[in-house]
Structure 1
């Protein structure tokens, strides 16, 4: 017996050629943020990390969070967007914690595989740069 009503599509069909995939588990972002915050706080206490380092992360995170929010709103309106390169640079200079929060809260930039790979690459580069800075400047390690 044929179905009398056709089913509506569950979601808007995606544009062909987009590299979308299932988002990573949100817990990965939250665990990463908690671990980073704890490690940064520990570095401030144990290695007497300069005050401007956590301040830089805070300011860059606020800027990245705002940029992701603005970009998500622009995407919904189909208006001019913030470039992915700008979003990645904001993360690279220390705004990645704010970007991770924005990605989860706004559900933005979580499915495009190429962006996710680039984003996590910038997180890795930023964390390695911070670790090198701590190693080279900490009184107990660098001497």
Structure 2
């Protein structure tokens, strides 16, 4: 009788052990699946982040090249503007010299001829020629 009871208790104990072991295995499998899923998700996010980073690096490189081109173009334009400004100043100086020569020539001629009206008419023709330019 006691042996039967001991056998029953051993069987129940063994059944509980098997049940607990099955539950532990099930929980362990669930945890492992969750970890694998989480790792897969993290790996995918890392890959996406690397791709976005590469894309941003490429975009930054393109913008940097465009900025370099714009800077170079701006320097070229500035140089051309300086050249044009220099040429305009040279033309202005040349025109002023030419006008001064004409005025001096007209004054000299008027002095030689002794006529004030010649000076005025010479001055008017010079002003007219300079305003046409």
TM-score (norm. length: structure 1): 0.28
TM-score (norm. length: structure 2): 0.30
Q: Which has the higher contact order (CA 8 A, sep 6+)?
A: 1
Q: Could you say which structure has the larger radius of gyration?
A: 2
